Structure 1
């Protein structure tokens, strides 16, 4: 039975890690598959939008006959209740977990699994989470509408403050004054992580650090828009409204301060840009020592250059200052497409810890495109199982640029202005196409 449960968990982890779902991620430490960490990225058009919410899963030997124990760890050290069904102490109330009484047929069954639990939790992160409170349908309509609005406002604020800003500040070691010192470990979160750490380790297992950094760069403009919207709705210094279902030790207390959140958000962006530039300096030192990563990147660079020579694509590639950790890619717009005639310079920055830290692409040439953020960060999906293959990353970026009929996917909302036009009305799409073509023409003039 124990072997069967391990096999089942391993299979589910593998399937989740292979799919291209941009809002779910899972990881376990080494072979400890019974202790799993999961990340849910908050859905678009909800107060949880693009927040990073982490959960711990503990699978017992009776899995899948019995459901795993699930604990929310994005709680600001047990001080923040992000949902009527996600408590400040980490308790997740779901009928399929046996932590909440549900209707007949909603209880756990062996046919369910890790993904179905994650999707159930994600469904709680709705545009109106107040509806998750039992007895909602019987609430007084007038007072209830005000409570719903107040609840959405404070969840939106705390999603930014705790799940995004606080998390990234800890990853980057940014103090309250914006100065970078050393990575900070939140004491309460550290204690929650102890169960998924090696016995000899003094550092918590943080499998989503690089993912969150890269997604922060994707969604940076969306975070700024959320802050601007918040400033228009509520004044800084306004206390949060306590909801009827919030108890003294299971609540979300605080005050609104969007101006402070904006300052901290911009500091994080500057720190991430500085980190990327710092990789170049680290890389030169690694090259001088002939470290494995430096040798690997040099070899991959030479292979990609050769593949360009034998390809019909005229794209060019060069090292910046002979540094294998910084590549300079010139992309020629594909003929007979909206990109036809364009010339775009793209910098590819590599970490000395590649592929654990994935490459970061940055368009040096401005391109108005719904898959490229305002600062030039492209939104692309790396090939499954090929995180260490740089050529596959380049191909994925080009594919994202050239895709003619992409499916609607709000998880790719990295350029809000372009995205709104692209997926708007027929007239909006015409405006988008004109602006895209204008940026393509400008790319040649600026090259």
Structure 2
């Protein structure tokens, strides 16, 4: 039974990781597949939009006959209840988990699994979470309508403050005031003594660190838009309203301060940009030491240059200052499309810890496109199974730019204005195409 449960968990983890889902991520330590961490990115057009919500799964030996134990981690240290069904103490109330009474047929079955649980939790993150509380599903009294609005406002604020800003500040080791503590000494990959390597269990397990950093760059403008929306609805210093179903130890208390959140968002963006720029200097040191990553990136660069030559692709690739950790891609717009005639330069920056840390890419030539953020960050998805192959990343970026009929997917909303025009009315699409063509023409000037 134990071996069967481990096999089942391993397969579910593998399937989820292969899916490249833009709103779900899962991970575990190699030595402990029964303890899984999961990340849910909040759905579009909800107060949870693009927030990073982490959950811990503990699978017992009787899985899948019995459901796993699920605990919410993103609770501000047990002080914030993010949903009527997601308590401040981490309890997740779902009938399929046996933590809430449900109708017949809603209980757990062996046909369900990790993904179905994650999707059930994600469905709680709705546009009107007030209705998730039993007895308040059809609340239409004026007082209830005000509570619904108040509840959405404070969840939006705390989604930004706790799930996004606090998380990124911890990852980047910057204080809420933007200060940076002294950096911890780095272990030299070449010189460390194998006898002093820490046990894996003693090292902090942060599997979503790089993912959240990259997604922050995707959704940065959406976070700022949420701040502006919040500023229009509430005043800084105004206290959160307590909901009828919130208890003294299971609530979300605090007060609004969107001006402060805006300042901290700017500080995080600045720190991320500086971190990316710092990779170049680290990379030169790695090159001088002839590290495995430096040699690998140099070899991949040479192979991709040869591939472009023999495939007839017009794109050009060069190293910046001979540094294998900084590449410059010149992309030539595809003929017979709105990109035809365009010439766009994009910088690819690599970490000395690649592929653990994925490349950060930014178009230096302005391009008005629904898959390119205002600062030039492209929204693309490379297969997780080939994340170490730089050619796959380049191809994925080009595919995102050139896709003729992309499916509507709000998880790719990285340029709010362009996205709204692209998926708007016929006239909106015409405006989008004109602005895209204008940026193409400007790229040639």
After superposition, give the CA deviation of every residue in 1:316-339 in whole Å (9 maximum; x if it has no partner). 110001000000110000111110
Whether 1:155 aligns to 2:159 is no
CA distance in structure 2 between the aligned counterparts of 1:279 and 1:210, rounded to whole angstroms = 14
CA distance in structure 1 between the aligned counterparts of 2:362 and 2:241, rounded to whole angstroms = 42
Shift of 1:123: 0.2
Paired residues in the alignment total 432
Shift of 1:126: 0.2
Shift of 1:137: 3.6
Going from structure 1 to structure 2, the CA distance change for 1:316 and 1:392 (only over 3 Å counts) comes to same
Shift of 1:199: 6.0
Going from structure 1 to structure 2, the CA distance change for 1:325 and 1:144 (only over 3 Å counts) comes to same
CA distance in structure 2 between the aligned counterparts of 1:380 and 1:76, rounded to whole angstroms = 31
SS in structure 1 opposite 2:330? strand
SS in structure 2 opposite 1:326? strand
Contact 1:174–1:183 at 8 Å: present in 2 too?
no
Give the aligned partner of residue 317 of structure 2: 317
SS in structure 2 opposite 1:136? coil
CA distance in structure 2 between the aligned counterparts of 1:411 and 1:228, rounded to whole angstroms = 20
Give the aligned partner of residue 45 of structure 2: 45
CA distance in structure 1 between the aligned counterparts of 2:435 and 2:95, rounded to whole angstroms = 49
Give the aligned partner of residue 10 of structure 2: 10
CA distance in structure 1 between the aligned counterparts of 2:287 and 2:140, rounded to whole angstroms = 67
Contact 1:338–1:437 at 8 Å: present in 2 too?
yes
Give the aligned partner of residue 191 of structure 1: none
CA distance in structure 2 between the aligned counterparts of 1:168 and 1:183, rounded to whole angstroms = 16
Contact 1:171–1:183 at 8 Å: present in 2 too?
no
CA distance in structure 2 between the aligned counterparts of 1:87 and 1:182, rounded to whole angstroms = 36
Give the aligned partner of residue 84 of structure 2: 84
SS in structure 1 opposite 2:55? strand
1:292-371 matches, within 5 Å, as 292-371=292-371
After superposition, give the CA deviation of every residue in 1:70-100 in whole Å (9 maximum; x if it has no partner). 0000001000000000000000000000000
Going from structure 1 to structure 2, the CA distance change for 1:236 and 1:355 (only over 3 Å counts) comes to same
Shift of 1:201: 4.1
SS in structure 2 opposite 1:385? helix
Give the aligned partner of residue 71 of structure 2: 71
Going from structure 1 to structure 2, the CA distance change for 1:134 and 1:303 (only over 3 Å counts) comes to same
Q: After the TM superposition, which parts of structure 1 deviate over 6 Å for at least 4 consecutive aligned residues? A: none
Give the aligned partner of residue 231 of structure 1: 231
CA distance in structure 1 between the aligned counterparts of 2:140 and 2:418, rounded to whole angstroms = 41
Give the aligned partner of residue 383 of structure 2: 383
Whether 1:28 aligns to 2:28 is yes
Shift of 1:366: 0.2
Shift of 1:21: 1.2
Whether 1:129 aligns to 2:129 is yes
Shift of 1:312: 1.8
Normalising by structure 2, report the TM-score: 0.96
CA distance in structure 1 between the aligned counterparts of 2:141 and 2:407, rounded to whole angstroms = 38
Give the aligned partner of residue 187 of structure 1: none
CA distance in structure 2 between the aligned counterparts of 1:277 and 1:295, rounded to whole angstroms = 20
CA distance in structure 2 between the aligned counterparts of 1:116 and 1:334, rounded to whole angstroms = 40
Shift of 1:211: 0.2
Shift of 1:140: 5.8
Give the aligned partner of residue 405 of structure 1: 405
Give the aligned partner of residue 436 of structure 1: 436
CA distance in structure 1 between the aligned counterparts of 2:53 and 2:81, rounded to whole angstroms = 12
Shift of 1:203: 3.2
CA distance in structure 2 between the aligned counterparts of 1:36 and 1:384, rounded to whole angstroms = 18
CA distance in structure 1 between the aligned counterparts of 2:140 and 2:406, rounded to whole angstroms = 44
RMSD of aligned alpha carbons: 1.2
CA distance in structure 1 between the aligned counterparts of 2:201 and 2:283, rounded to whole angstroms = 27
Give the aligned partner of residue 115 of structure 2: 115
Give the aligned partner of residue 281 of structure 2: 281
After superposition, give the CA deviation of every residue in 1:372-427 in whole Å (9 maximum; x if it has no partner). 00000000010241100000000000000000100000000000000000000000
Consecutive unaligned residues of structure 1, counting only runs of 5 or more, are 185-197
After superposition, give the CA deviation of every residue in 1:325-382 in whole Å (9 maximum; x if it has no partner). 0001100001111100000000000000000000011000000000000000000010
Consecutive unaligned residues of structure 2, counting only runs of 5 or more, are 185-197
Going from structure 1 to structure 2, the CA distance change for 1:244 and 1:199 (only over 3 Å counts) comes to farther
Contact 2:363–2:378 at 8 Å: present in 1 too?
yes
SS in structure 2 opposite 1:282? helix
After superposition, give the CA deviation of every residue in 1:262-284 in whole Å (9 maximum; x if it has no partner). 00000000000000000000000
Give the aligned partner of residue 209 of structure 2: 209
Contact 2:298–2:324 at 8 Å: present in 1 too?
yes
Shift of 1:32: 1.0
CA distance in structure 1 between the aligned counterparts of 2:246 and 2:4, rounded to whole angstroms = 41
Contact 2:18–2:383 at 8 Å: present in 1 too?
no
Give the aligned partner of residue 56 of structure 2: 56
CA distance in structure 2 between the aligned counterparts of 1:183 and 1:34, rounded to whole angstroms = 34
CA distance in structure 2 between the aligned counterparts of 1:307 and 1:235, rounded to whole angstroms = 57
Give the aligned partner of residue 393 of structure 2: 393
Normalising by structure 1, report the TM-score: 0.95
Going from structure 1 to structure 2, the CA distance change for 1:350 and 1:138 (only over 3 Å counts) comes to closer
Shift of 1:139: 4.0
